[in-house]
Amino acid sequence: MAKNTLSFVCQNCGAAYNRWQGKCESCGEWNTLAEEDTSGSVPVSIRSRRKGRTFALESLAGKSPDAPRLSSGMTELDRVTGGGFVRGSVLLVGGDPGIGKSTLLTQATSLLARAGHRVVYISGEEAVAQVRLRAERLGLSDAPVQLAAETSVEDIVSTLSEGAVPRLIVIDSIQTMWTDTVESAPGTVTQVRASAQALIRFAKKSGAAIILVGHVTKDGQIAGPRVVEHMVDAVMSFEGEGSQQFRILRAVKNRFGPTDEIGVFEMTGLGLREVTNPSELFLSERDLGTPGTAVFAGIEGTRPVLVELQALVAPTSLGTPRRAVVGWDPSRLSMVLAVLEAHCGVKLSGHDVYLNVAGGLRIQEPAADLAAAAALVSSLVNAQLPTDAVYFGEISLSGVVRPVAQTPARLKEAAKLGFQRAVLPESARGESGGDAGLSLNAVNSLTTLVAEIAARGSRRGESNAPAEKNATPARFRRGEG
């Protein structure tokens, strides 16, 4: 009889240790080590397998047929996946609880089932009656989707192997699955890894596309070992704020399409509605004529997206000024503030700074530096920015405005939405300015932009000193407020 082998496995990254310790040395998380029995992590049939067989090797030269894709019927979902589901591919979808993952997949499977494909939805968290109740609420109860509430991977694979091979299989969620090949409890790193491997093996052998739903940790990362993200073909993150009706599906990894592509949805009483023009949606409730707002022309994957950046710079009563940002990288905000103070003479050491990306969108590209700086200076000097202008450009530590990619697409999207001018890097002036029909204001350094904004309004305090706590804005002194 084999001796039981116990080890302590990190439930966040999957690192194994011989003894318990409070902090995982691999990922740095505390209190994530759990005791697991790893003696049965490799099946006996695999350990006693005969000598491996030989296989044929092929050269790089030659033609390979394009991977056939299965359209989901949802344009935004197909955009993120790269044109549809590839046969034999495995996708991992993660998101916060209640964000709408099950709703999205229920709508996608219903559309495929109505198109005549065999689709199977297996839930490990809900009963069949609960899934049916959601389908009735969405008006999809008539779709011929095959349902099951099961958690055993061996039973699932055996059932799906009978009859015609399903075109799409949804496993909700991978953390609830368990396999007989390991003795750990469901949800542990060992079980998640072994269950995912068994399902991936079935997908590659049968040609069925599988979507795995994954839980997320408190910091938004998909729970379980990171090796699962390397095993699957695509990783998609479903993002959104609970108070916002917008939902964004973002491709973090995709072997069959572009990464960082996004699909925009709106949560309604009848499920998720696709948003074909997200720029118009994000700008639908703009604060026109308010200082501290600037429109950023960004790129998400291959799609140009216009979004409003809102900034508020207020005198602080604290010893350490507060820096709060929502929807943008806090490190980049700190860098922009440092450049403004070091090279542009903008003193922000006595002010609290708040920055928000309207609509719940998360911006990751550095091209938002120029728009963020314009909004910050506009709020500080109480100057209104032009409502028909868009901003984009990367700011270096020396204060120089650097060029960014896909300038023509940004300008074309801005012109389509009625904007008349664009503030962009000097080196990008000749790329596409006249074609878009916009008036271009090319800036070479951040100092030039700050001087232009400062000339539009009066500061709340002296330019080289923190503003007084009881200082009155110029518009109120003029009797306009």
Distance CA 5, CA 38 (A): 6
For 283, the token pair is: 């700008």
For 76, the token pair is: 């935004």
What is residue 392's DSSP assignment?
A: -
Residue 247 forms beta bridges with which residues?
Answer: 265
For 63, the token pair is: 């033609």
Q: How do 293-300 and 85-86 pair as beta strands?
A: unpaired
Residue 127 forms beta bridges with which residues?
Answer: none
H/E stretch holding 6 reads strand 6-10
The phi, psi pair for 370, rounded to 5°, reads -65, -40
Residue from 346, 343, 268, 345 nearest 311 by CA: 346
The response to whether 97 counts as a known ligand-binding position is: yes
Distance CA 115, CA 73 (A): 9
The response to whether 352 counts as a known ligand-binding position is: no
Q: What's the sign of the alpha-carbon dihedral 41, 47, 49, 54? A: positive
Distance CA 373, CA 311 (A): 9
The response to whether 96 counts as a known ligand-binding position is: yes
The response to whether 99 counts as a known ligand-binding position is: yes
Residue from 441, 433, 262 nearest 363 by CA: 262
CA distances 197 to 45, 231, 232, Å, are: 16, 8, 9
The response to whether 139 counts as a known ligand-binding position is: no
The DSSP annotation for 328-391 comes to S-HHHHHHHHHHHHHHS----TTEEEEEEEGGG----SGGGHHHHHHHHHHHHHT-PPPTTEEE
For residue 307, the SS3 value is strand
- Annotation: binding site for ATP: 95-102
- Annotation: binding site: 95-102
